[in-house]
A = this chain, B = another copy of it.
C-alpha cells in the first residue's frame, strides 16, 4: 500500500496528449507547481484542463498555455492572463466557464458516484442553455452533471505514505474534490511523513482517493496580489 513515487517524473507517468486533467488550486494558491512544470517538460498537448483558474502568464497553468498544450479549459474565472485571452479570442482555445460552486460540486459528484444534481446557480443565464430546468420549493434549478478526469493532480501541505493528505489554510480550495474525481490522483506535498504520523482525526483527503504521492522538489508559492498594511 506504499503509494510513494520518488519524483515528479514517476508521478506523471502515463499522462498523455488528449487526456482530461483536473488541477487543484485557486489562483496561484495551492496549485501543483511541480507537476505543472513536469507537464511542460513532457510536452503533452491537446489537454483538457479542469481548474478553477488558468494561472498567470508565466506561472501555473499559464505555462501550459504558453506552450499551446491546452486544447480546452474548464474553469470559473480566467482573468489575469494575456496569453489566455489571445488564444481564446483567436479561437485556438476552447473555454467552458462554469459557476465556481457548480464546478466544485461537479468534481465532488464525480468522485462520489453522483452523476447529476440540481442547483439554482446559473438558472436564466447562458450557463443554463441546453440544461434541464426543474422547480423545487418554488425555485427553478438546473441539472448539472458530474466531472471526472483521467488524472487529478493536487497539491497538499503534508501527506503520508498511505496517500492521506492535509492542506494548509486556503490552499485547500479545490484540491480535496479533485482528488476524489481523478481516475488516477497524483498528490505533490511539501512534507511527506510515514503512515501513522498524521492524526487520523484531522486528515482532509483520505488516502483512498490518492494513487501516487511525492515530495515536491521546490515550491515557489508565488503570491498573485500581495496586499499588506504597514506595521506601526
Chain A residues engaging chain B, CB cutoff 8 angstroms: 105, 109, 112-120, 134, 136-137, 141, 145, 166-169, 199-202
A100 vs B169: C-alpha distance when bound (angstroms): 32
A119 vs B166: C-alpha distance when bound (angstroms): 29
Please provide the 3 A-B residue pairs with the shortest distance between their CB atoms, ordered closest to farther: A115-B136, A117-B117, A202-B202
A99 vs B43: C-alpha distance when bound (angstroms): 46
CB < 8 Å: which of B118, B134, B166, B199 contacts A114? B118
A117 vs B145: C-alpha distance when bound (angstroms): 10
Measured between beta carbons, the chain B residues less than 8 angstroms from A136 are: 115-116, 145
- What are 9 pairs between A and B in contact, CB < 8 Å? A105-B114, A113-B119, A113-B120, A114-B119, A115-B118, A116-B117, A168-B201, A169-B201, A199-B202
Chain B residue at minimal CB-CB distance from A141: B115
Measured between beta carbons, the chain B residues less than 8 angstroms from A169 are: 200-201
Measured between beta carbons, the chain B residues less than 8 angstroms from A141 are: 115-116
A117 vs B202: C-alpha distance when bound (angstroms): 28
